[in-house]
Amino acid sequence: MYIAKRGFAKLTDTAKAAAQAAASQSRSGSDRSPSSSSSSSPRSSSHSQHPHFGHEGHVLRVTRLPNDLLVATEDHASPLARICVAVKAGSRYEPAELPGLTHHLRGVASCATKQCSAFGLSRNLEQLGASFRASTTRDLMLYTLEVSRQNLKEAIKFLSYATTQQEFKAWEVHDAQDRLLVDLDILKIHPEVRLVELLHKAAYRDGLKNSLYAPRFTAGNYHGSMLTEFAKATFKTNRMAISGVGVSHDELLNYAQKYFKMDVGEKEHALTPWSAVTNIEPVDHRVHHINGGNIVSEPARYGGGEAYEETIDCLTYAAYVTEGPGLNEPRQLLALKLLQHVIGGSSKIKWGRGVSPLARAAASATNEPFAVNPVSFDHADSSLFGVAVVCNPKDARNVLRATIDILHGKEGVDQQRLEQAKNRLASAILMGHESGAELVQDMATQALINKQILTPEDAANMVGKISLEELIMAAKHALAGRATFAAVGNLAYCPRLDDVA
């Protein structure tokens, strides 16, 4: 039973701590190497009064620990430390017989661990002023902790308990079904999310077709032992990465070596582990063995196809995509994103439809309101690249035909439009990563998927170097493959794939 022995800090304590930290800051400043001090001295002089900042500037550091755990940090001058633990436990690694297992896993992220109970976890983090959230992509499970720098020492313990020492008690998994049902009810009012899930189901043949959301019949029917087996197979240090923004590399390395060891023996439990406590034989025939304890990672298999979900709606939501390169081929992927900005950027004016080629083509095909966007759903080794359309059901066919023509290059691209698109894409990348929250999750994702991590500046520079021929080549390559088409909503007048392609 761990209770943070910390109330509200008294003024004298903070002043003392500030004086101590300032003294250590000035000492460490003299030890800094010439190269880093020259680049960061302007910043450090203005922050020398601030007690907690010993940052190094925007330097990305990556280390691979002996147990194959990757640690990446960028130490910004930020009072907030953000740590993200990424695990290769996304929906593509779900066992085939247990759809939606990762949705359940996401729901019990804040439940009991071997060292502290669910209540203790949430109260302690609350007391430290930390926020903890779990999100899933198709490849990864991301656990993010955001806390002020001085509380990181205490808070990171809880992050490690929640990611490496989960307990998955049967009744907590059962109680989490309420959260699951809320998620599924929210899905009812977001057809665009259902469209994306449908698109993946139609496009891929293996793991990537799994949805991020569990089917409704699984609520309350999955047992904690299934989650335990899944976690045992996927939460291994060679499938994990920790990234930090606003924390020094040495500090995060220290925590990673101390807390993320994954070999907590039975003796080190603070709470009694359930396997040791009850003398009751587990009579659970619902436990599935996941390939004898190892998840087999298969490359993505794209097949293409169509999928439709007809609902009562006044709009049609449709998407047309083909397969593109994954996150492990950043240059080709950036070329396709550049193409997205050539054919259509989103309007920067509220309620406006924009003047991009896509918007103009759709506007010529319908008088009703519409929304047309180029889309790209990126995964580790494959992506879906195309357009998504929301429009009046009667005009669906014309709008889709017009936008897909633009996608296939009807309006063409020249050097001037390429430069404009490059500016748009570079600024989008940089602005998207202004928030440390986005940056830390991106770093963790790239650490697990790529051999190298591209910072936003690297990515923006790479964009600048892409030539017109490269762009056209990438577009031709992507659009030559078999297409996937998915539609949700009012499908009374919706065309099929052979009508639009």
Partner 1 sequence: MSTNIMIPNKTAVQKLWDNIRIVKNAYDSWKFKSAGYREYGLYHSDLYNDDNAVVAEAVRRLPEHVYEARVHRMHRAMQLSRNKIILPESMWPKEDEPMQHYLEPYIKEVQKELAERAEWDKR
Q: Note the residues at the interface with partner 1 (CB under 8 A).
A: 1, 3, 7, 117, 119-120, 123, 169-171, 271-272, 274, 277-280, 282-284
Beta carbon of residue 227, minimum distance to partner 1 (angstroms, whole number): 15
Residue 272 or 423 having the CB closest to partner 1: 272
Residue 282 or 352 having the CB closest to partner 1: 282
How many CB atoms neighbour CB 418 within 10 A? 19
Beta carbon of residue 171, minimum distance to partner 1 (angstroms, whole number): 5
Residue 119 or 493 having the CB closest to partner 1: 119
Name the packing angle between helices 415-432 and 468-479 (round to 10°): 80
Virtual torsion, Cα 475, 478, 481, 485, nearest 10 deg: -100
The three-point CA angle 193-198-199 to 5° equals: 95
Residue 114 or 341 having the CB closest to partner 1: 114
What pairing do the DSSP bridges indicate for beta strands 371-378 and 141-148? Answer: unpaired
First vs last C-alpha separation in the chain = 62
d(CA 459, CA 425): 10
Beta carbon of residue 114, minimum distance to partner 1 (angstroms, whole number): 13
d(CA 141, CA 96): 18
Asked whether 287 and 223 are in contact (CB, 8 A), the reply is yes
Long-range CB contacts (within 8 A, 24+) of 125-131: 125/155, 125/158, 127/4, 127/6, 128/4, 128/6, 128/154, 128/155, 130/155, 130/158
The three-point CA angle 445-455-24 to 5° equals: 100
Residue 23 or 276 having the CB closest to partner 1: 276
Residue 63 or 122 having the CB closest to partner 1: 122
Tokens of 45: 């002089």
How many CB atoms neighbour CB 68 within 10 A? 12
Tokens of 260: 């993320």
Beta carbon of residue 110, minimum distance to partner 1 (angstroms, whole number): 15
Residue 280 or 312 having the CB closest to partner 1: 280
Beta carbon of residue 281, minimum distance to partner 1 (angstroms, whole number): 9
Length of the chain equals: 501
What pairing do the DSSP bridges indicate for beta strands 80-87 and 60-64? Answer: unpaired
Beta carbon of residue 25, minimum distance to partner 1 (angstroms, whole number): 33
Beta carbon of residue 271, minimum distance to partner 1 (angstroms, whole number): 8
d(CA 56, CA 58): 7
Beta carbon of residue 178, minimum distance to partner 1 (angstroms, whole number): 15
Q: What's 394's DSSP letter?
A: G
Beta carbon of residue 217, minimum distance to partner 1 (angstroms, whole number): 19
Residue 7 or 34 having the CB closest to partner 1: 7
